[in-house]
Amino acid sequence: MRLSKVLFPLSLACFCWSCASSDFAAEGSHRAERLHGQPVRRYDALDYDITLKVAPGDSQFHAQVKMEFEITSPVDRIVLDAAGLRIAAVKTSFPSGGWDREGDQLEIYFDDILSAGDRGWVAIKYSATPGRGIYFRLDNPAIRPHVFTQGECNDARYWLPCNDSPSDRASYSLHAIVPVAWTTVSGGIKIDERVFNAAYKIVDWRMEEEMPPYLFTFVAGDFVTIEAAESSTVLSRENIFYVVEEGDSNQARAAFARTPDIIDFISDYTSVDYPFAKYSQVTVRGFPYGAMENSSATTAKRELILGDQELRPSWPTVAHELSHQWFGDLVTCRSWPHAWLNEGFATYFTALYRESRFGRDDFLFHFGNTIDGYLNSCTGANRRAVVKHAYEQPMDLFSDGTIYPGGAARLHLLRGWHGEEAFRKAINIFLSDNRLQSVDSDALKRAFQKAGCVGMEGFFRQWLYSPGYPELKLEWSQSERNLKVAVRQVQPARDPHTSHNAYETGSLWDFRFPLDIRYQVIGGQVEQQRVWITRRQQQFELKLPGRIEWLSFDPDAWLPASLTVDEPVAATMRRLRRSDSMRDRVLALRKLVSRHLGEFAIEDLLSIAEDDSEYLMLRVEVVRAMEKLQRNWLFYRARENPPSEEWLVALPDLLEQEWRKAIGRR
Ligand SMILES: [Zn+2]
How far is the centre of ligand 1, averaged over its atoms, from the C-alpha of 2 (Å)?
A: 4
Residue 346 alpha carbon to ligand 1 centre in Å: 6
Q: What angle do CA 194, 198, 204 make, to 5 degrees?
A: 25
Largest CA distance in the chain: 91
CA of 1 to the centre of ligand 1 (A): 3
Q: How far is CA 97 from the centre of its chain?
A: 45
- Separation of 320 CA from ligand 1 center, angstroms? 6
Show the DSSP H helices in 400-466 as ranges: 405-418, 420-433, 441-450, 456-463
Q: How far is the CA of 484 from the centre of ligand 1 (A)?
A: 43
For the chain, which residues score pLDDT lower than 70?
Answer: 4-31, 493-509, 596-600, 631-634, 636, 665-666
What pLDDT was estimated at residue 501? 41
How far, in Å, from the CA of 327 to the mean position of ligand 1?
9
For residue 504, being part of any structural domain is answered with: yes
Question: What is the number of domains present in the chain?
Answer: 2
Separation of alpha carbons 226 and 281, rounded Å: 10
Q: Is residue 199 part of a domain?
A: no
Edge to edge, the sheet with strand 218-221 lists 134-137, 146-149, 218-221, 183-186
ipTM of the modeled complex: 1.00
Tell whether 479 and 545 lie within a shared domain. yes
Shared-domain flag, residues 602 and 542: no
* 483 lies in the same domain as 559: yes
Instruction: Give the Å distance between the CA of 41 and the centre of ligand 1.
Output: 27
- How far is Cα 232 from Cα 659, in angstroms, rounded to an integer? 40
Same-domain pairing of 600 and 561:
no
pLDDT at 464: 95
Kindly give the distance from the C-alpha atom of residue 324 to the centroid of ligand 1, in angstroms, as a whole number.
7
Residue 531, domain CATH: 2.60.40.1840
Residue-wise pLDDT for 411-457, tens only, equals 999 999 999 999 999 999 999 999 999 999 999 999 999 999 999 99
Q: Are residues 611 and 558 in the same domain?
A: no
Q: What is the pLDDT of residues 70-110, one digit of tens each?
A: 999 999 999 999 999 999 999 999 999 899 999 999 999 99
For residue 243, how far is its CA from the centre of ligand 1 (angstroms)?
A: 20
Give distance in angstroms: CA of 200 to centre of ligand 1: 35
* 289, 2 Cβ separation under 8 angstroms: yes
Q: What is the pLDDT of residue 494?
A: 60
Name the pairing type of β-strands 96-102 and 331-333.
unpaired
Residue 510 CB contacts under 8 Å (≥ 6 apart), including other chains: 489, 534, 535, 536
Residues 220 and 201 sit within 8 Å (Cβ to Cβ)? no
406-to-29, 218, 331, 355, 463 alpha-carbon distances in Å: 22, 32, 20, 19, 10
**Which of 64, 75, 68 is CA-nearest to residue 44?**
68
| Angle at 61 (CA atoms; ends 58, 62), nearest 5 degrees | 115
Residue at which a domain ends, from 530, 548, 567: 567
Q: How far apart are the first and last CA of the chain?
A: 37
Angle formed by the axes of helices 420-433 and 259-270, to 10°? 100
- With respect to residue 130, please indicate whether it lies within any of the assigned structural domains: no
**Interval between CA 3 and ligand 1 midpoint (Å):** 7
Quote the pLDDT of residue 506: 44
In a domain, 403, yes or no: no
CA 61/CA 533 separation, integer angstroms: 60
8 Å CB contact between 331 and 431? yes
Distance 546 CA to ligand 1 centre (A): 48
Q: Is 562 domain-assigned?
A: yes
**Residue 663's domain spans which residues?**
596-666
Tell me how many degrees the CA angle 411-417-422 measures, rounded to the nearest 5: 80
If DSSP codes are grouped into helix, strand and coil, which group holds residue 93? coil
User: Same domain, yes or no, for 611 and 540?
Assistant: no
Ligand 1 midpoint to CA 294 (Å): 10
Give domain status of residue 657, yes or no.
yes
How far away, in angstroms, is 276 Cα from ligand 1 center? 18
Q: What is the whole-number distance in angstroms between the Cα of residue 607 and the centre of ligand 1?
A: 40
Residue 472 belongs to some domain of the structure = yes
CA distance 10 to 544: 59
Query: If you measure from the C-alpha of residue 298 to the centroid of ligand 1, how many angstroms do you get, rounded to a whole number?
Result: 11
Query: Which whole-number Å values give the CA distances from 568 to 449, 581, 624, in the listed order?
Result: 43, 19, 23
Cβ atoms < 10 Å from Cβ of 441: 21
Distance 340 CA to ligand 1 centre (A): 9
**Domain match, 606 and 662 both:** yes
Cα–ligand 1 centroid distance for 376 (angstroms)? 20
575 CA to centre of ligand 1 in angstroms: 35
Residues 549 and 632 placed together within one structural domain of the fold: no
Q: Are residues 561 and 485 in the same domain?
A: yes
pLDDT for position 15: 25
C-alpha of residue 102 to centroid of ligand 1, in Å: 32
What DSSP element (H or E) covers 177? strand 170-179
Domain-embedded: residue 591: no
- Assess whether 471 and 552 both reside in one domain: yes
